[in-house]
């Protein structure tokens, strides 16, 4: 008897589907910049729009995780993330020859509300102070001098990116 190998519906669908070909052109030149921001999917396109159009950084390298630069501000609740992100940054500086790093925090970030249990108005003050701490830390571990920070403010139906002095 020939028993067929069990297969999940998902893998079967993937095997029978035609490959998807992206219509976006691939450009191999690197821009030597990276951005660290929260992985919150509701803001992904806004971060892209700001970095690509607002700061003129097409093809920037993305370092995303819940809370983004919050893990570089010395919170004991994020030591594992800190180790991982520092390692990634050092790699990108060495291999992708990064010259510039952009840090972005955003309104009501769940990392702050859930993991650090913070509420407004203190939440935003802590986020802004964290951007300053994270920038100093990134400078220390990468040796880069061009580090900038922004606060993404979610306002009725749109997102505004405000520079933060770091
Ligand atoms: Zn967030």
| Residue-wise DSSP of 40-79 | -TTSHHHHHHIIIIIS--TT-EEEE-TTGGGGGTT-GGGH
Kindly give the distance from the C-alpha atom of residue 106 to the centroid of ligand 1, in angstroms, as a whole number.
Answer: 6
pLDDT of 79 over the 90 cut: yes
d(CA 112, CA 118): 6
Kindly give the distance from the C-alpha atom of residue 15 to the centroid of ligand 1, in angstroms, as a whole number.
Answer: 35
Kindly give the distance from the C-alpha atom of residue 3 to the centroid of ligand 1, in angstroms, as a whole number.
Answer: 48
Kindly give the distance from the C-alpha atom of residue 118 to the centroid of ligand 1, in angstroms, as a whole number.
Answer: 13
Q: Which residues touch 29 (CB under 8 Å, ≥6 apart)?
A: 59
Q: What pLDDT does residue 136 have?
A: 98
Q: What pLDDT does residue 8 have?
A: 62
The pLDDT-based confidence of 103 (bands split at 50, 70, 90) is: very high
pLDDT of 5 over the 90 cut: no
Q: What pLDDT does residue 16 have?
A: 83
Q: What pLDDT does residue 25 have?
A: 96
Supply angle C-alpha 30, 59, 54, rounded to 5: 125
Kindly give the distance from the C-alpha atom of residue 151 to the centroid of ligand 1, in angstroms, as a whole number.
Answer: 11
Architecture of domain 29-164: 3-Layer(aba) Sandwich (3.40)
The pLDDT-based confidence of 26 (bands split at 50, 70, 90) is: very high
Q: What pLDDT does residue 119 have?
A: 94
d(CA 148, CA 55): 11
The average pLDDT across 118-140 equals 97
Kindly give the distance from the C-alpha atom of residue 73 to the centroid of ligand 1, in angstroms, as a whole number.
Answer: 15
Q: What pLDDT does residue 15 have?
A: 72
CB-based neighbours (< 5 A) of ligand 1, an ion: 38, 40, 109
């Amino acid at each position: 008897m020939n028993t067929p190998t069990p297969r999940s519906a998902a893998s079967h669908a993937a095997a029978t589907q035609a490959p998807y070909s992206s219509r976006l052109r691939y450009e191999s030149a690197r821009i030597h910049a990276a951005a660290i921001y929260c992985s919150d999917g509701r803001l992904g396109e806004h971060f892209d729009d700001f970095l690509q159009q607002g700061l003129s950084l097409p093809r920037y390298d993305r370092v995303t995780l819940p809370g983004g630069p919050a893990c570089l501000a010395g919170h004991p609740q994020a030591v594992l993330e800190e180790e991982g992100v520092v390692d990634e940054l050092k790699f990108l500086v060495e291999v992708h020859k990064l010259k510039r790093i952009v840090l972005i925090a955003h309104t009501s970030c769940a990392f702050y509300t859930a993991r650090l249990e913070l509420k407004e108005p203190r939440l935003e003050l802590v986020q802004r102070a964290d951007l300053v701490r994270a920038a100093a830390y990134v400078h220390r571990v990468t040796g880069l001098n061009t580090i900038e920070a922004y606060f993404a403010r979610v306002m009725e139906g749109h997102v505004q990116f405000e520079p933060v002095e770091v």
